[in-house]
Amino acid sequence: MYGMVLAARGAPLALQQRPDPAPGPGEVRIKVGACGVCRTDLHVVDGDLADIPYPIIPGHEVVGRIDALGEGVVGLQPGMRVGVPWLGYTCGECFYCRANKENLCDRPKFTGYTRDGGFASHLVADARYCFPLGEHGDDAAIAPLLCAGLIGWRSLVMAGEGQNLGIYGFGAAGHIVAQVARAQGRSIYAFTRNGDRDAQQLALSLGAAWAGASEDKPPTELDAAIIYAPIGALVPLALRAVRKGGRVVCAGIHMSDIPAFPYNILWGERQILSVANLTRQDGIDFLAAAAKAEIRTHTTVFPLTEANQALASLRDGKLVGAAVLRP
C-alpha cells in the first residue's frame, strides 16, 4: 500500500510505501476509490487537535471497496462498496455510549486522526463503523457526503425545524446541507467571506433565497444559523441575524476565539450549540435523506499525490464545493 503520511505537526504530507495492512478481528481492509478533503484534515495537519499519534495518514471521507475481511466480520463481503466516516470506533461502555450518544464517547477512535485514514491506496477500518453505499453514483461524488454531508446533517437536525436557515461558510458542508434543506422546503440564506462571488453564485444556483457577505443583514430574520467556517467572530454576527428563540449551531471541530459580545444579542432565549462528531444512526438517516434529495456534490478532484496542493487550496478558500483525492 501507499499513503500520504503526516510525520509531525505542520509538516507537508509525504508519500510512503508500506506493507499491505492485515485486518484484525472485526476489521476490514478497503481499497480506496476516493477520499474527500475536509477542513478537519487541515486542523490535523496544523496540530490544532490534541494528542495526534504521529505518524498518521489523514482522511475521513473514504469511499472504497472491501478487499479483505478480518475474523468475525458479519454483513460485509469482499467487493462491497462502503464509506468510512470520521467516527471509527467507540467503546460501547462509557456514560455517553450507554446513553445512546456515541458521538461523545470518552474513548473513541477517529479515522484520519487517531487511526490511519483514507489519503492512501488502502486502509483498515472497524467493520461496525463502515456504511454500505450501494452502487449508485461515482466514488468521488459520494466522498464529501461522508463528513461534510454527515456533520452537515447533524448540524441541520440541531438547528431545529425553522423555515429560514442561515449558512455561514458555503463550502463542502454548506452546499450539501443547502440541498437537503431545500428538499425539505426550507429557505436558505448563504453568508460567505466578503467578495466570494463563486460561493455566492453556487448558493444561488442551488436555490438559496439570498446570498451575501457574513457582515450583511439578511432580508428576513433567521430561525437558525449554522456556522461551518472556523471563525469565532461569526458567532455574534449570527446571533444578531437570528430571531428570538433562534439557534446558532457551531459545526466545526475547531474555531478561533469568539469575541466578547453584548448579552442582549443572546437574550430572548437564543441559543448557541456545538456539534461534535456523528453517530452511526446519523449516517443511516443522512444517507437515506441524501438519496431522496438527489444531492449533487460540486467537487475538484486531485490525484492522491497532490494532497498538499488540495489542502492548500482549501486553506486559501480557492475551492468551489469540495476537494477529493483519488489514489
Report residue 78: phi and psi, to 5°: -55, 140
Fill in the per-residue mask, 193 to 222: x = in contact with Zn ion (CB under 5 A), - = not in contact: ------------------------------
CA distance linking residue 191 with residue 200, whole number of Å: 8
Residue 93 CB, shortest distance to Zn ion, in Å, is: 6
Q: How far is the CB of 210 from Zn ion (least distance, A)?
A: 27
- Round the CA-based radius of gyration of the chain to a whole number and report it: 19
- Kindly write down the DSSP assignment for every residue of 254-294, as one continuous string: --PPPPP--GGGTTTT-EEEE--S--HHHHHHHHHHHHHHT
Residue 40 or 192: the one with the smaller Cβ distance to Zn ion is 40
CB of 95 to Zn ion, least distance (A): 8
Among 5, 6, 40, 156, binds Zn ion (CB under 5 A): 40
Stretch that binds Zn ion, among 110-118, 139-147, 173-181, 298-306 (CB under 5 A): 139-147
Nearer to Zn ion, 105 or 310 (CB): 105
DSSP string, 106-172: SS-EEBTTTB--SSBSEEEEEGGGPEE--S-S-HHHHGGGGTHHHHHHHHHHHT-S-SEEEEES-SH
Three cell numbers, residue 267: 437574550
Nine-digit cell at 257? 476565539
- Cα(175)–Cα(205) distance, rounded to whole angstroms? 10
Q: Rounded to the nearest whole angstrom, what is the least distance from the CB of residue 208 to Zn ion in the complex?
A: 23
Report the residue number, 123 or 241, with the smaller CB distance to Zn ion: 123
Segment contacting Zn ion by CB under 5 A, of 15-23, 96-104, 189-197, 284-292: 96-104
> Contact with Zn ion (CB under 5 A): which of 49, 91, 157, 320?
91
How far is it, in rounded angstroms, from Cα 300 to Cα 54? 28
Between 6 and 237, name the residue whose CB sits nearer to Zn ion: 6
Task: Scan residues 255-284 and list those touching Zn ion (CB under 5 A).
Answer: none
**Residue 58 in contact with residue 153, Cβ under 8 Å?**
no
Q: How far is the CB of 300 from Zn ion (least distance, A)?
A: 16
Which of 35, 38, 206, 227 touches Zn ion (CB under 5 A)? 38
Q: How far is the CB of 69 from Zn ion (least distance, A)?
A: 25
Contacts of 114 (CB under 8 A, 6+ apart): 51, 52, 53, 56, 88, 108
Between 220 and 274, CB nearer to Zn ion: 274
Residue 172 sits in the site that holds Zn ion (CB under 5 A): no
**Binders of Zn ion: how many residues, by CB under 5 A?**
8
The distance of closest approach from Cβ of residue 173 to Zn ion in the complex, given in angstroms and rounded to an integer, is 8
Q: Are 64 and 81 in contact (CB under 8 A)?
A: yes
Cis-peptide into 55, omega within 30 deg: yes
Kindly indicate which of the ranges 31-39, 154-162, 170-178, 297-305 contains the residues binding Zn ion, using the contact rule CB under 5 A: 31-39
One residue of 57, 63, 105, 225 binding Zn ion per CB under 5 A:
105
Q: Single out the residue of 312, 293, 141 nearest to residue 206, CA to CA.
A: 293
Neighbours of 183 (CB within 10 A): 15
The residue from 32, 62, 97, 176 that contacts Zn ion (CB under 5 A) is 97
Q: Residue 49 interacts with Zn ion (CB under 5 A)?
A: no
**What is the smallest separation between the CB atom of 321 and Zn ion, expressed in angstroms?**
15
Which residue in 147, 206, 226, 227 binds Zn ion (CB under 5 A)? 147
Q: Reduce the secondary structure of 21-50 to three states and give it as a string.
A: CCCCCCEEEEEEEEEEECHHHHHHHCCCCC
CA 181 to CA 241: how far, in whole Å? 19
The site for Zn ion (CB under 5 A) is made up of 38, 40, 90-91, 94, 97, 105, 147
